[in-house]
Structure 1
Amino acid sequence: MKTLYTRIVIVYIGTVIVSIIAGLVTIYLLLESKYGDEQEQYLIKQGQSFIALYEKRSLKEMESIMDLLHKSMFVNFRLYDSSGLLKTFGENLHKDEQISPQKVEQVIKGNVYREDARDRFHPIVGLPFQKENKRYALFVYTSDESALEKGFIQIVYLGFFCVLLTGSLLIAVASQYIIKPLKNMTKVTKQLAKGNFDVKLNLTRKDEIGELARSFESMAQDLKKMEQMRKEFISDVSHEIQSPLTSIRGFSKVLKHKNLSQEERWEYLDIIESESERLSKLTENLLRLSSLESDHHPFEPETFWLDEQIRDVILYTESEWTQKKIEVEVDLAKQRIEADKELLKQVWINLIHNSIKYTPEGGRIRVRLVKWVRQVNVCIEDTGIGIAEEDQKRIFDRFYKVDKSRSRKSGSGIGLAIVKKIVEIHRGEIHVKSKPGQGSTFIVTLPLKQSRRKYLK
């Protein structure tokens, strides 16, 4: 009983046995109801034929005739008169006391007797008749088990036995068909545990087992992607942390040289300070992203003017876009929104900061707020370097950079991942439209109100 195969086979055989027993009982009850009545009528007809024949024959003549006929008639006869048993034609009853003197006397007096002797398949019928002014009682009954009855019972038993045997063999084979893919899944599970995610079940079945197998393969591919992302994450984090640490360590060693000029010393100290800030910001962003993805980050919605918040962020970054002589166009419809004010502020800071970073001097940035019935769209459009189509699908992945050189100026690649997560927390969406050399447009869609489910999270 330790294997599913054994359990399926045992349960099926048990079910077949119970079904056979129920079938036998049902057949028995149906036959007893119908066959018993027909058997009784048959005995009466045979008894009447015997009486008609006996009225024209003597007792000795009847003996010779009935010796030939009773076997083919599948019935037996007992003839009584007022003094007792005269003759038995055929087999004796299973129990002679079943026909008591009282019953014989009752029939001789002219009453028809019916009795369920052992069961409905073996009734006894008593018929009265007269011959030469003498009263007789004729009892008619079947043999204990006639050849016909034996044959019928054997056929029924043989049929049910064949059903049991054939069904057991078929379920033994069919169970292998059911269990085989499950065994394959067990093997695949062991492969997954060893880190081998390139597994295939190659199962084309359309039933629940096939659906489970396809889900299993899909899970293996998802695990493979997660493992690949984990390795990339570790590699990216290591690279991002190692890069500023290498700079800090290198310039710290240079500062030990006594022959450095004061100007060079300050320059190297500025680089060390810049790399330290970069490392601090990277750590801060990693902690923020981890907190957002843990679903335990505080979410405190409040109602505020969204257009005023975006305008404040644009003013906050004024020194950056004025330094690059970037023209900023603002078209903000007045709109109140229910959201986490501090989290949304981080979205606008990151998006506007990216637009400034990748827009060349003399370029243009346009920020628009469009309100709808139940949602609002914020579009941040720039005339920057643009994003290739293959990169647009991954720019929201953490540590992914369009700039493959990974220079210090390209950032850590976490900002857009934080933006997307904050937008998702607000049950919103973010999309990007861009072409290389033609700028980029980030479109953020947010609901005007947050559902109560979010509050209870």
Structure 2
Amino acid sequence: MKTLYTRIVIVYIITVMISLVIGFFTLTLLYREILGSEQEEMFIKQGKGIITLFREFDDMSELKNVANELLKPMLIDFTIYDSEGAPEVFGTVKRSISEERIQQVLKGGVYREEGSDPNNPIVGLPFQKDDKQYALFVYVSDSDLNKDAYQVIILGFLSILISGSILILIVSRFIVKPLTKMTQVTQELSKGNFDIHLNWKRKDEIGVLARNFDIMAEDLKKLEQMRRNFISDVSHEIQSPLTSIRGFSRALREKDLPSAERLEFLQIIESESERLSRLSGHLLQLASLESDQHTFEPKVFSVDEQIRAIILKLQPEWSKKDIQFTVDLPKTYIVADKDLLHQVWQNIIYNSIKYNKDGGTIGIRLTKKTRMAIVEIEDTGIGIAEEHLRNIFERFYKAEQSRSKKNGSGIGLAIVKKILELHHGNIYVRSKLGEGTKFIITLPLKNKPKR
């Protein structure tokens, strides 16, 4: 019972057996009811014919000869009782009939077997001859005929059970075989072997399951690769500033180091420490957002004013590159977590400044459609190649070498994506290499946390 194959076979066989038992009893009842009533009618009809024949013969021995010839193909026998209860048997079998039944018929009653022995039906008919009362009892000459019929039914049901069980064994193995194969594949997956595929062409539910299984294996393979890349990227991001800190800390031990260089090294150590702090903060925040335990505090605020405040906050950055802003921000109130959305706008606008060219432009446009607020942020920067667009929201993903040189951790957009998901919003990106990038953010005007 530990295997699915055994369970399926046992359940199927038990189901077949129950169905056969129900069918047998149903068929038996119908057989008794229909065949029993037909036999009674036949016995009555034949009994009337025998009575007519009996009345035409005065010689009992002559009647017996004629009756025996007639009874052979009819498979019935009969016994005639006179008014004294003396029997005269016609045929090969004498049935034991109670005195009570004989007297009942002699008195003019018709007797029908009510099923005490359905294999031996009997009918009793009264009649008169020469002013004498007689009783005729008609019955089956071979009582084993009905028993044989029951045996045929039983053998038929047994043959159905045996052949059905064999077919169930074969079909169940065919059903369970793919699941057994999936179990083997699952064991391989648990060992870290993701280069396995079922590749079944079946169109039934098992075929759909197999195809979904292949998709799952492929996703697990990608997830494992992402995990390895994540560990590698985190190690690299941490190792790089640690190496700088260690190197410059050793340099500071030099007694003859000029004060100007000492100050420069201290600034570098401070800068790398801040970089480590930002990285760890981003990782902790992303872990908090993904664990669905992050505090979500929606409230009504003006999103256009929030974006304007961020543009002003970043003025030192865009002023150094002589970047021009074109802003179309009509008054728009939304219900959202103000602090979380602040990170979204700051990250995207800061990236637009960071990867823009000197003297470039950034356009920010806010529109409302039905119940959604749509914010478009477009720059004239270095752009992103098309093959990298689908991956830019992954952790530590860096689309271009030119971007990686700008000390980005590659985790900011992953945080942006998660924050927008918590707000039931979304983010899309369009970009052409060398021409610029456009981010499109959609947010519902009223919000509840996504859990």
The two structures have a TM-score, normalised by structure 2, of 0.94
TM-aligned CA deviation for residue 93 of structure 1 = 5.3
Alignment correspondent of 2:165: 168
Question: Counterpart of 1:82 in 2: which secondary structure?
Answer: coil
Structure 1 pair 320–66 and aligned structure 2 pair: CA distance change class (3 A): same
From 383, 407, 410, the equivalent of 1:410 is: 407
CA distance in 2, matches of 1:14, 1:407: 68
2:42 matches 1:27: no
CA distance in 2, matches of 1:320, 1:406: 17
CA distance in 2, matches of 1:117, 1:172: 41
Q: Deviations over 1:417-454 (max 9, x none)?
A: 11111111111111111111111111111111114xx2
TM-aligned CA deviation for residue 201 of structure 1 = 1.8
- Higher mean alpha-carbon deviation, 367-376 vs 115-124, is at 115-124
TM-aligned CA deviation for residue 310 of structure 1 = 0.8
Alignment correspondent of 2:344: 347
TM-aligned CA deviation for residue 55 of structure 1 = 2.5
Alignment correspondent of 1:297: 294
Aligned residue type for 1:272: I
Structure 1 pair 89–357 and aligned structure 2 pair: CA distance change class (3 A): same
Q: How does 1:25-174 map to 2 (within 5 A)?
A: 25-57=25-57, 58-92=59-93, 96=96, 98-100=97-99, 102-116=100-114, 118-120=116-118, 122-143=120-141, 145-147=143-145, 149-174=146-171
**What runs of 5+ residues in structure 1 fail to find an aligned partner?**
none
Identity, in percent, stands at 56
**What runs of 5+ residues in structure 2 fail to find an aligned partner?**
none
TM-aligned CA deviation for residue 159 of structure 1 = 2.0
TM-aligned CA deviation for residue 302 of structure 1 = 0.9
Structure 1 pair 111–303 and aligned structure 2 pair: CA distance change class (3 A): closer
Q: Deviations over 1:84-128 (max 9, x none)?
A: 22322235456x2x431x432343344433333634553322222
Alignment correspondent of 2:314: 317
Give the RMSD, CA atoms, in angstroms.
2.0
The answer (yes or no) to whether the contact 1:43–1:140 under 8 Å persists in 2 is yes
From 423, 426, 443, the equivalent of 2:440 is: 443
Aligned residue type for 2:62: E
TM-aligned CA deviation for residue 407 of structure 1 = 5.0
CA distance in 2, matches of 1:340, 1:365: 25
The answer (yes or no) to whether the contact 2:119–2:144 under 8 Å persists in 1 is no
Q: Deviations over 1:286-329 (max 9, x none)?
A: 11111111111111011111111111111111111111221222
From 163, 175, 179, the equivalent of 1:178 is: 175
CA distance in 2, matches of 1:398, 1:268: 30
Alignment correspondent of 2:360: 363
Q: Deviations over 1:121-167 (max 9, x none)?
A: 533222223334433222111236254x3553343223222211111
The answer (yes or no) to whether the contact 1:379–1:443 under 8 Å persists in 2 is yes
2:226 matches 1:221: no
CA distance in 2, matches of 1:167, 1:400: 60
The answer (yes or no) to whether the contact 2:199–2:214 under 8 Å persists in 1 is no
The answer (yes or no) to whether the contact 1:74–1:146 under 8 Å persists in 2 is no
Alignment correspondent of 2:416: 419
CA distance in 1, matches of 2:109, 2:325: 122
TM-aligned CA deviation for residue 410 of structure 1 = 3.3
Question: Counterpart of 2:443 in 1: which secondary structure?
Answer: strand
CA distance in 2, matches of 1:446, 1:383: 24
CA distance in 1, matches of 2:125, 2:119: 19
The answer (yes or no) to whether the contact 1:122–1:143 under 8 Å persists in 2 is no
Structure 1 pair 405–251 and aligned structure 2 pair: CA distance change class (3 A): farther
TM-aligned CA deviation for residue 70 of structure 1 = 2.9
CA distance in 2, matches of 1:242, 1:290: 21
